[in-house]
Amino acid sequence: MGEVMIPFLLRAIVAIFIISINAAITGTFTVFRNVSFLVAGTAHAALAGAALALILESLGFHVPVLLGGVLFAIFAAISAGYASGRGKVGRREDTNTAIAISFALSMSLAVLFISMVREYAARVWGLLIGDLFLLSYSDLAIMFITTLLVIAITALFYRAFLYLSFDAEAAIASGVKVGLYDYLLLSTIALSVVAIMGGVGAILVFAMFVAPAAIAKRFAKSISRVFLLSFLISFSSGIAGIALSFYLPFSPGAMAAVMVSSTYFVSVFVKK
Amino acid sequence: MEAVVIKDLCCTYDGFVAIDRVNMIVNKGEFVAIMGPNGGGKTTLLRAIAGMIKPQRGYVKVKGEIGYMPQKEHVNFEIPIKVREVVEMGIMSKKKKFSLFSKLSREEKELVNNALKAVDMLKFVERNFTELSGGQQQRVLLARAIATKPDILLLDEPFNGVDLPTQEKIIKLLDNLASEGVSVITVVHNVSPLIHHVSRIALLNRELIAYGKPEEVLTPENTAKTYGIPIPTTVCKEGYIHPLFGDIHG
């Protein structure tokens, strides 16, 4: 390995560490709240936001592309949460159905917006495709700051998120503002997804935000162990992906995603 | 003393009338069973008393703190949560202690232990909730509801999937709570095991068909109006009237 590669390698390892923290925290709550599809939904909603930011830029209003993406993703998450009516008792829409419809709406908007700024389309689609070895320091800084925010929100409202995921009905009866905390949880997941996706690409985020927690949940005997095991699974898959990419002509992110997704299916087979 | 006053209550879900024209009073220390067919509005009535849904018309007035035990079907069994954490949830929610670093005070820990002791589940405190049997899970959920020392205890089908010995334990506990002044209101499908303990029965099918002492309520006319067919009854040697069968959870 040439010395020239070392900064790229270090940045990739730091990114995997940050992604693994998000996989442990946001990923675990994504699985607990049973909104795995939200990860894909918000990632695609971010495309529409990014495209709208570029349209505004072409009109002379500067809006950062990532900010546009984050705002749209949060809007999609809140819309899905509203449609599912988690804060209300009685009849409610299945959250994943609401996410799917919100996904369809935001993808249609993305295509519409992108067609209006064809010359910048690559920048929009770039949100979906990232590379662990091509991360800049500013990508890392955004990922790091977002992760701190995610840690802070989750630490402050940990029990509210847990209770609404475990037994929303009892939480409402106890006076917990379940609807409000559900919006906050879904928005935190959306924020985490888009900030990490902007750096490393959507495929790695899809894989890392769902599979490790889904595997950990099958084996862990306590909630804290789900967090720890999710972190360890995503970190080791990420490092293995980076290591393998030195020997095989594939992207480290894709390798890590293949590893963690395969581990999930193996875990299903082992603990059937 | 009146603990719950329900006046001309009407509740709807998206325009669908779940219950209408319900009038009821539950006194302090009363043990009330709510019966009725599936879809008859039993859970809705409990939710309205708990303040979880806003009435379309009428009102519910409650005097005191409420403890609520929803049906077990609402619980997410995918989360490997410990028994202690489940029971703590009731107290933490009431006190709005949501932070990861929130801790229970010594008195609150005592409340958790006492509640688990009352349902005979203290020895399982560090066990994983999802690994318990159905009856044990019901007892833990009951412990969560009573840990906050409620004045009014609302239970939605607490005997679902519960074996007979456990059922006996739960009934004895509810009876004790009622004698200590807690108003216990429970939805049941089969009232027979409770009949020696309940002070009043409500028959509900969208509207309140009858409400009063078991022997006044469990008449062929009332049960026919509630369930569509009259339910035969028998009188036990202690002189209590027992319906010969109950319906099942839908």
Rounded to 10 deg, the angle between the B134-146 and B83-95 helix axes is 30
- Could you identify the residue written with the tokens 């040697």? B237
Contact map slice: B 86-115 vs A, CB within 8 A: 86, 89-90, 92-94, 96-102
List the helix and strand counts (H, then E) for chain B: 7, 11
Report pLDDT for A226. 97
The Cα B237–Cα A58 span in angstroms is 88
Spatial CB neighbours of B50, under 8 Å, sequence gap ≥ 6: A173, B66, B68, B154
Band the pLDDT of A43: cuts 50, 70, 90.
confident
Yes or no, beta carbons of A170 and B102 under 8 Å apart: no
- H helices present in B97-163, as ranges: 106-118, 134-146
| Residues of chain B where predicted confidence (pLDDT) is lower than 50 | none
What chain A residue is nearest to B82 in terms of C-alpha separation?
Answer: A222
Q: Which two tokens stand for residue A206?
A: 């899809």
- For residue A156, the chain B residues in CB contact (below 8 A) are 98-100
Q: Which domain holds residue A42?
A: 3-270
Report pLDDT for B247. 63
Yes or no, beta carbons of A90 and B53 under 8 Å apart: yes
Q: Is the pLDDT of residue A91 over 60?
A: no
Q: Quote the DSSP letter at residue B184.
A: E
- Could you identify the residue written with the tokens 């990419």? A245
Beta bridge partners of B202: B34, B211
Spatial CB neighbours of A30, under 8 Å, sequence gap ≥ 6: A36, A38, A39, A189, A209, A210, A213
Report pLDDT for B249. 55
Question: Is B1 at the interface with chain A, CB within 8 A?
Answer: no
Q: C-alpha distances in angstroms, B238 versus A39, A107, B175, B188? A: 62, 70, 18, 22
Q: Quote the DSSP letter at residue B192.
A: G
More confident of the two residues A115 and B30: B30
Task: Name the minimum distance, in Å, from the CA of A131 to any CA of chain B.
Answer: 33
pLDDT in tens, A214-235: 999 999 999 999 999 999 999 9
Band the pLDDT of A87: cuts 50, 70, 90.
low
Q: Print burial letters for B32-70: b (CB count within 10 Å at least 16), e (below 16).
A: bbbbbbeebbbbbbbbbbbebbebeebebebeeebbbbb
Q: C-alpha distances in angstroms, B225 versus A67, A272, B209, B212, B219? A: 61, 48, 7, 16, 10
Q: Quote the DSSP letter at residue A27.
A: I
Yes or no, beta carbons of A170 and B50 under 8 Å apart: no
Report pLDDT for A97. 82
Q: Is the pLDDT of residue A1 over 60?
A: no
Nearest to B92 among A159, A167, A221 (CB): A159
Report pLDDT for A20. 94
The Cα A83–Cα A38 span in angstroms is 13
Yes or no, beta carbons of A170 and B44 under 8 Å apart: no
Band the pLDDT of A93: cuts 50, 70, 90.
low
Task: Name the minimum distance, in Å, from the CA of A21 to any CA of chain B.
Answer: 16
Contact map slice: B 205-244 vs A, CB within 8 A: none
Helix (H) / strand (E) element for B40: namely none
**Are A264 and A214 contacting, i.e. CB atoms less than 8 angstroms apart?**
yes
Side chain identity, residue B28? K
Own/partner contacts of B47-50, CB < 8 Å, gap of 24 or more, are B47/A89, B47/A90, B47/A173, B47/B11, B48/B6, B48/B9, B48/B11, B48/B19, B49/B4, B49/B6, B49/B152, B49/B154, B49/B185, B50/A173, B50/B154
First-residue to last-residue Cα distance in chain A: 42
Helix (H) / strand (E) element for B51: namely none
| CATH architecture, domain B1-64+182-250 | 3-Layer(aba) Sandwich (3.40)
Q: Print burial letters for B176-215: b (CB count within 10 Å at least 16), e (below 16).
A: ebbeeebbbbbbbbbbbbbbebbbbbbbbbbbbbbbeebe
- Other CB atoms within a 10 A radius of the CB of residue B24 amount to 20
- H helices present in B27-163, as ranges: 42-49, 83-95, 106-118, 134-146
The Cα B175–Cα B181 span in angstroms is 10
CATH code of A82's domain: 1.10.3470.10
Q: Which two tokens stand for residue B170?
A: 């739960």
The Cα A30–Cα A35 span in angstroms is 5
Nearest to B81 among A34, A90, A223 (CB): A223
Contact map slice: B 12-31 vs A, CB within 8 A: 13-14, 16, 18
Report pLDDT for A131. 77
Cβ burial, residue A225 (10 Å; 0-12/13-18/19+) = middle
Mean pLDDT in residue range A123-141:
79
Based on its alpha-carbon atoms, the radius of gyration of chain B, rounded to whole angstroms, reads 18
Band the pLDDT of A130: cuts 50, 70, 90.
confident
pTM strictly above 0.80? yes
Nearest to B98 among A32, A159, A172 (CB): A159
pLDDT in tens, B34-52: 999 988 999 999 999 999 9
State the total domains in chain A. Answer: 1
Residue of A32, A156, A164, A174 to mutate, interface with B, max B Cβ within 10 Å: A174
pLDDT in tens, A152-200: 999 999 999 999 999 999 999 988 999 999 999 999 999 999 888 877 7
Residue of B60, B78, B82, B95 to mutate, interface with A, max A Cβ within 10 Å: B78
The Cα B186–Cα B153 span in angstroms is 8
Q: Which two tokens stand for residue A154?
A: 């989750």
Q: Which two tokens stand for residue A81?
A: 């949460």
Q: Which two tokens stand for residue B82?
A: 């410990």
Whether ipTM > 0.90 holds is no
Mean pLDDT, all residues of chain A: 87
**Are B135 and B80 contacting, i.e. CB atoms less than 8 angstroms apart?**
no
